[in-house]
Amino acid sequence: MYKILEAEMLADKIYRMVVEAPYVARSCQPGEFLIVKMDERGERIPLTICDFDREKGTVDIIFQVVGASTFRMAELQAGDAFEDVVGPLGNPSDFIKEPLEEVKKKHYCFIAGGVGAAPIYPQVKWFHQQGIECDVILGTRTHDTLIMEKQLEAVATNLYVCTDDGSYKAHGNVCVVLEDLVKNQGKHYDVVVAIGPMIMMKFVCQLTKDLNIPTIVSMNPIMVDGTGMCGACRVQVGDQIKFACVDGPEFDGHLIDWALAMKRMNTYKSEEGRAMLKVQEGATHHGGCGNCGGDK
């Protein structure tokens, strides 16, 4: 069992937990992820490692309620425990494997959309610890859904915050901010790392392709086992089939087949929706229609 030491709601439907997982904390690196399972029959949920403390043996996870399993997970409190925590899985970010002197020569811009702030944070924190400057663009729909602003502000050289509705800081999405920084403010970036909703990463890649900036994205499609056996997380990268759990989760964003990736993601929505209704309606659930209220 893996004890939950802290649990809090950061914003509407967005939660943070600190979990006691010494084996994961001992060897994890920025860019990697883990899989949690609430009980013996629970779904295996892939989550990015937001932060870690090797001495305390803890990892921080941040998740958004999007289906039945995360709906149940949000009800867990400090003192509860997960049945399993498996990790670290996937591969560390490319810059972890590069010679430090080479990384220092490049100008990085990290772009976080919504809950994408969670996987972006350990990467930017790594840059800060190495004494390397980098910029961060943090975007979300509205001020109420903004997370990790203070944490990113503490480790980024420059933090640019934007909201789609203009309720906080810059009015517009992350693409608007990036384009303004490059075209109007004279910023130069050698690498962009974009993590967030798939549609956001797609449009960032379209922009950076026009701007001729190499771009890395972190793919988080449906996963089952996290070992490459199930094939659920397949991604078309250029002319090759890759699996996000073992080949990623980070890939060259300009090579991703975004249309296919989004189509595969939508394939599972109806099934997840039925599962969510079953959890929400509880004993009154009947037939899965969501309208009748079940037999009362």
Mean pLDDT across 100-122: 96
pLDDT digits (tens, 9 = 90+) for 184-194: 999 999 999 99
Q: Which residues of the chain does CATH 3.40.50.80 include? A: 94-218
Q: Which residues of the chain does CATH 2.40.30.10 include? A: 2-89
pTM of the full predicted structure? 0.87
pLDDT of residue 284: 47
C-alpha Rg value of the chain to the nearest Å: 19
- 16 Cβ neighbours under 8 A, 6+ residues apart: 6, 7, 8, 9, 10, 50, 60, 61, 62
Task: Please identify which residue in the block is written with the tokens 């190495």.
Answer: 130
What's 94-218's CATH class?
alpha beta
- 147 Cβ neighbours under 8 A, 6+ residues apart: 10, 11, 14, 62, 114, 115, 117, 118, 140
pLDDT digits (tens, 9 = 90+) for 238-293: 999 998 888 989 999 999 999 998 888 776 655 555 554 454 545 544 544 445 44
Homologous superfamily (CATH) of 2-89 is Translation factors (2.40.30.10)
Higher pLDDT, 71 or 266: 71
